[in-house]
Chain A
Amino acid sequence: MRLERFWLAAGAAGLGLLPWHGLEAPVAAILGWKQAAAPALFAGEPWLWPLVVPLLLGLGGERRALVGAGALGLVLALIQGLAIGLHGWDMAWLAQVFGPGPSQAAMGWGAVVYGVSCTMLLAIGLARMGWCRGDVFVLGALLLILGLVGLFVAWPVGAILRSAMQDNDGVYALGVFMEKLFNPGIWGLDCLSGGRGCGVAWNTLAQATLVGVLATLLGLAVALVAGRTRLPLRPVVRLLSLLPVITPPFVIGLALILLFGRVGIVTNFLAEHAGIPRTRWIYGMAGITIAQLLAFTPIAFLVLSGVLGAVSPSLEEAAQTLRAGRWHVFRTVTWPLIRPGLANAFLISFIESLADFANPLMLGGNFNVLATDIFFAVVGAAHDQGRAAVLALVLLGFTLTAFLAQRAWTGSRSYTTITGKGDAGLSAPLPAGLSAICVSVVGPWLVLTVVVYAIILGGGFVVTFGRDWTPTWQYLLTTFSVDHGVGGWFLSGSGWRSLITTMELAAIATPITAALGLLAAYLLDRQNFRGKGAFEFIAMMSFAVPGTVIGISYILAFNVPPIDLTGTGIIIIISFVFRNMPVGIRAGLASLAQIDRSLDEASASLRARSARTLRLVILPILRPAIVTAMVYSFVRAITTVSAVIFLVSGEYNLATVYIVGRADVGEYGVALVYSAVLIVVMAAVLLGMTALIGRQRIGRRGALAAPAEAIAL
């Protein structure tokens, strides 16, 4: 009974105390009492007054009344927000009926609190009616997550669709849409008949397929060498597989330019000593492929080494005792058992390559892919949001299809162990020929990786990479110097501002990401409710939405009231949260799977409801997973570039975007120094976490921390 009074009061506060419009600091807005920042009831906007009705309706406390109150409040707030915009009626037919209407600014803190309160009232009412076994906490969490994902993933994606279907005057025009969608610039096949080049969609598909196949094969070779030979590669490969997590995505492309570009050191060497002419071969499909292989092979490796490790050694031993030689064992037992994993690794690399923005940006040259075309459609001279939206739709179609295929595949094709007790055994060694092939492929990849990282970490400390090898601190000082001036010490380096902004925004986003992710994981693993499959799909879907698509969709959806966030730090935080939430979900699911359900049941049988069980039983055991989820979402927030490059503003610039900007104007020294600093900071954060979690062991279960693999995937 007390719970709904709390939320009714909160809803009232949202209407009567907090500023309804504007997201500036709420306390200052209230104290300043500007008309523009007044609470809903005092803002002189009569269309906000009906919002009181649901709260009065809920006062009775009867369960149907609560459901009605919550639902009505949400619907009313939504209708008025969508109907009345900054320049009068937002819907054309309203303007025709009523003439020029009222106008209002975007929603603010009051609206946020009011919306959350209505959601909770709805949850309380539904729980009293017996939904989710009457568990208010579960229902509330469910509705909250659904609402947030709907608002910040589904709504923006919808905005893309809207924008794509409208012509330049904002009128829905199917013909124009079809014409834009099947534009020969996207789907043309001229390259097959010797024309100028194929459509960008074909380019993207070809690129992703090539990288998917090569990364899978390379990842398999690495997994086989690490897992099935005596070479002491395992620790090296483990380390390398963590690198992509902490590496800002574009620096690999940058390093490749310094190696193989027209004045790269390898090119120089070959030109001077072997007379091989300088070309721009690295710009285009070849360069992108190499960069993406360096970036995504570790992911394929993680998938495949997991699959390889899951092949019970006793199966291979059984085959050996049945007189099968090494090749026969590999061909008839090992290979068929890892085949589902190969498909999975291919699809994951395929999706990553489709979504990759940074490497094509650095290395694309005249070879365009969807992710970069979207960007240039928005920032380029053409500035065609409609074209960007159409391209984003096509890209989203590709990634979602691959995502669905991947889920269907992993859902149906895994051979699980048949019986509980297993025998410890030894995996069969690789056939000699296969082993030689794997080593000869993995070796060059390892060497190239090491060289690339050496350039990234060291390249910013010489005057001109490739020409003047004099060591210098110049670039470090430009970027991160600290000076003593009139007002005392201050950070004078050009990079400080973006670095601090990045850290601040990532630090705010991190706990929210982890909390939402773990909450969703808890609901998925421990609760049963109708539509659970759909809920999981929606929650994980943001993983399959490429960063560029998120970026363009946020611009389209959150640029005008009712939600106007562009240019703020909040929109960056939100993009961090919903881009990385699947990380939290994965960490949570991996850890929860290790905690026996009997603990929950014991707690429930001792009269604890789910919120109490979660707080007193699950969370303390999950602590390592929480740390893991937080650190990974922090690191990923800092290294991402694709989504935020659309969202940064003068006030809120981010480290990665700053680096891309420097590299773009040819200041490679600064870009490399900054990247090296970021990598070192991220590595320190990751290693610190590993050390921290290494000590946290609960009983004999050992570390419950979700393994890095589970998250990186």
Chain B
Amino acid sequence: MSDAAVSFRNVSKRYGGVTAVDAISFDVAAGTLVTLLGPSGCGKTTTLRLVAGLEHASSGTIEIGGRDVTTLSAAERDVSMVFQSYALFPHMTVLENACYGLRASGLRRQAAEEQAREKLALVGLAGYESRLPSELSGGQQQRVAVARAIVLEPKVLLFDEPLSNLDAKLRRHVREEIRALQQSLKLTVVYVTHDQQEALAVSDRIIVMNAGRIAQDGAPRALYEQPASRFIADFIGDSNMVPGRLRRTGGDLASVTIGGLAVEVAHRGAADGEVEVAIRPQAVRLGGAGGRQAIIAKAAYLGSHMEYDVAVPGLAAPLFVISADVATPLVAGTEVSIALDPAGVTVLPAG
């Protein structure tokens, strides 16, 4: 018995010969928002449905609030879910949708409606009670789905890609609302998304999944700054993957030479010799003194920043570089001296 709201122990889910979720274990602390992140088909949605009780584990145990719920059905678990399509009942009004869980739990209509109205007001939908879902915008439907889920005050609230049906501008707004709601109500939330920016923005902790397994589990900052593998470095933010030569210099530090550029970074356990290095696009400084000569291969103006492809002698592929300097853009063909900022250069563990 732990104080974790959700606890997975060696949980697997197999469909015939296909293993969707492969012996994963993790805990979700109460009152935190944990994101399951990964490319499509990585098993994140299956994991969420295992929490909800919509799928049942092939092996392993699942605890919610310290209670073993592995064999319980969805209706018997103290969780609620916000579906990707919202799954609002089209034949019921907003209020009836919001009341549904309370009425199913046996609450009388009056009490149920009172609580539902309160939660609808909380998500900013007071006054919309008698509308049908089809009479609401996508963002409003999403809020009804959230209100319907939190009305039950579940131990765990689940979100399955809640922003994927919203347009880009609305997404940021809604994700901030979800985060604010989670923090003010101290909700325990498991959130599934394939969008790494969304995950970085809302999460206390991110569990990155790949091919049914957990690739890395940690705080957003840790994932970004200390990727455990090439997969993570590539998936969280952009990275240039380049070969380098490492020589330990004492303590945790090592000198890494990349295409003639030397930089001092943490060795992260790598031995002297050839290593793979991830360089963030922002970590390449253009035009500084004393750097190495390179040539701008492509340039693109994106308003807030410039994007360049920079050909560096000694490197097979050009480096992808983002520069905040839009006042003095460089054109393709320009020779430029480049240097590396150690903060954005990470040695990847072997394997």
B89 cross-chain contacts in A, Cβ below 8 A: 315, 318-319, 332-333
Q: Does B121 contact A (CB under 8 A)?
A: no
Complex contact B85–A319 (CB within 8 A): no
A421 cross-chain contacts in B, Cβ below 8 A: 84-85, 164-165
- A317 and B149 CA atoms in complex are apart in Å by 13
Binds B, one of A241-249, A323-331, A356-364, A487-495: A323-331
Complex contact A328–B141 (CB within 8 A): no
Q: Which of B32-49 contact A (CB under 8 A)?
A: 45
B148 cross-chain contacts in A, Cβ below 8 A: 318, 322
Whether A420 touches B74, Cβ cut-off 8 Å, given contacts A314-B85, A322-B80, is no
Complex contact B100–A332 (CB within 8 A): yes
Interface residues of B (CB under 8 A from A): 45, 52-55, 73-77, 79-81, 83-91, 100-101, 104-105, 133-134, 138, 141, 148-149, 152, 158, 160, 164-165
Q: Which of A534-585 contact B (CB under 8 A)?
A: none
Q: Does A320 contact B (CB under 8 A)?
A: yes
Contact with B74, one of A312, A317, A418 (Cβ below 8 angstroms): A317
Complex contact A337–B90 (CB within 8 A): yes
Q: How many A-B residue pairs have CB under 8 A?
A: 101
Complex contact A323–B105 (CB within 8 A): yes
B83 cross-chain contacts in A, Cβ below 8 A: 314, 317-318, 423
- A318 and B148 CA atoms in complex are apart in Å by 10
A336 cross-chain contacts in B, Cβ below 8 A: 91
The contact sample of 24 A-B pairs, CB cut-off 8 A, is A312-B87, A314-B84, A315-B87, A317-B83, A317-B87, A318-B87, A320-B73, A321-B54, A321-B74, A321-B75, A321-B81, A322-B101, A322-B149, A323-B75, A324-B104, A325-B104, A332-B89, A333-B89, A415-B90, A415-B91, A418-B134, A419-B86, A419-B165, A425-B54
Complex contact A321–B88 (CB within 8 A): no
Complex contact A323–B141 (CB within 8 A): no
Q: Which of A406-432 contact B (CB under 8 A)?
A: 415-423, 425-426
Complex contact B165–A420 (CB within 8 A): yes
Contact with B141, one of A321, A419, A420 (Cβ below 8 angstroms): A419
Known: A314-B83, A323-B104, A422-B84. 18 other contacts (CB 8 A): A315-B90, A317-B87, A318-B88, A321-B54, A321-B75, A321-B77, A323-B101, A324-B100, A332-B89, A332-B104, A336-B91, A417-B85, A418-B90, A418-B134, A419-B141, A419-B165, A420-B165, A423-B87
Complex contact A321–B86 (CB within 8 A): no
- A322 and B107 CA atoms in complex are apart in Å by 13
B52 cross-chain contacts in A, Cβ below 8 A: 317, 321
A418 cross-chain contacts in B, Cβ below 8 A: 85-86, 88, 90, 133-134, 141
- A315 and B145 CA atoms in complex are apart in Å by 11
- A416 and B73 CA atoms in complex are apart in Å by 29
Contact with B80, one of A314, A321, A332, A423 (Cβ below 8 angstroms): A321
- A323 and B107 CA atoms in complex are apart in Å by 12
Q: Which of A121-168 contact B (CB under 8 A)?
A: none
Complex contact A322–B104 (CB within 8 A): yes
Whether A419 touches B101, Cβ cut-off 8 Å, given contacts A314-B83, A318-B83, A322-B80, is no
Min distance, Cβ B147 to any Cβ of chain A, angstroms: 12
Residue on B with the closest CB to A326? B75
The 9 closest A-B pairs by CB, nearest first: A322-B101, A318-B87, A320-B74, A324-B104, A314-B87, A415-B90, A423-B84, A321-B81, A336-B91
Min distance, Cβ A71 to any Cβ of chain B, angstroms: 47
- A367 and B140 CA atoms in complex are apart in Å by 59
Contact with A317, one of B54, B77, B101, B134 (Cβ below 8 angstroms): B54
Over the window 640-655 of chain A, the binary record of Cβ atoms lying under 8 Å from chain B Cβ atoms (1 yes, 0 no) is 0000000000000000
Min distance, Cβ B63 to any Cβ of chain A, angstroms: 18
Contact with A419, one of B73, B80, B85 (Cβ below 8 angstroms): B85
- A320 and B79 CA atoms in complex are apart in Å by 10
B90 cross-chain contacts in A, Cβ below 8 A: 315, 337, 415-416, 418
- A146 and B260 CA atoms in complex are apart in Å by 81
Residue on B with the closest CB to A311? B90
B73 cross-chain contacts in A, Cβ below 8 A: 320
B79 cross-chain contacts in A, Cβ below 8 A: 321
Complex contact A322–B100 (CB within 8 A): yes
- A323 and B112 CA atoms in complex are apart in Å by 14
Min distance, Cβ B38 to any Cβ of chain A, angstroms: 16
- A322 and B100 CA atoms in complex are apart in Å by 7
Min distance, Cβ B61 to any Cβ of chain A, angstroms: 20
B54 cross-chain contacts in A, Cβ below 8 A: 317, 320-321, 425-426
Complex contact A328–B104 (CB within 8 A): yes
Complex contact A324–B85 (CB within 8 A): no
- A425 and B55 CA atoms in complex are apart in Å by 9
- A319 and B74 CA atoms in complex are apart in Å by 9
Residue on B with the closest CB to A424? B45
Over the window 419-455 of chain A, the binary record of Cβ atoms lying under 8 Å from chain B Cβ atoms (1 yes, 0 no) is 1111101100000000000000000000000000000
Contact with A324, one of B53, B75, B77 (Cβ below 8 angstroms): B75
- A314 and B76 CA atoms in complex are apart in Å by 17
Min distance, Cβ A276 to any Cβ of chain B, angstroms: 49
Min distance, Cβ B163 to any Cβ of chain A, angstroms: 11
Residue on A with the closest CB to B96? A332
- A320 and B134 CA atoms in complex are apart in Å by 22
A420 cross-chain contacts in B, Cβ below 8 A: 165
Min distance, Cβ B47 to any Cβ of chain A, angstroms: 14
Complex contact B165–A321 (CB within 8 A): no
A324 cross-chain contacts in B, Cβ below 8 A: 75, 100-101, 104
Residue on B with the closest CB to A328? B104
- A428 and B216 CA atoms in complex are apart in Å by 34
Whether A320 touches B85, Cβ cut-off 8 Å, given contacts A336-B91, A337-B90, is no
Residue on A with the closest CB to B45? A423
A337 cross-chain contacts in B, Cβ below 8 A: 90-91
Min distance, Cβ B326 to any Cβ of chain A, angstroms: 36
Complex contact A423–B85 (CB within 8 A): yes
Complex contact B85–A321 (CB within 8 A): no
- A421 and B81 CA atoms in complex are apart in Å by 17
Contact with A423, one of B53, B104, B134, B160 (Cβ below 8 angstroms): B160
B81 cross-chain contacts in A, Cβ below 8 A: 317-318, 321
Min distance, Cβ B133 to any Cβ of chain A, angstroms: 6
- A248 and B165 CA atoms in complex are apart in Å by 50
- A560 and B152 CA atoms in complex are apart in Å by 76
Residue on B with the closest CB to A325? B75
Min distance, Cβ A185 to any Cβ of chain B, angstroms: 46
A333 cross-chain contacts in B, Cβ below 8 A: 89
A415 cross-chain contacts in B, Cβ below 8 A: 90-91
- A698 and B248 CA atoms in complex are apart in Å by 59
A314 cross-chain contacts in B, Cβ below 8 A: 83-85, 87
Complex contact A319–B104 (CB within 8 A): yes
Contact with A319, one of B45, B100, B138 (Cβ below 8 angstroms): B100
Residue on B with the closest CB to A421? B165
Min distance, Cβ B136 to any Cβ of chain A, angstroms: 9
- A314 and B165 CA atoms in complex are apart in Å by 15
Over the window 338-368 of chain A, the binary record of Cβ atoms lying under 8 Å from chain B Cβ atoms (1 yes, 0 no) is 0000000000000000000000000000000
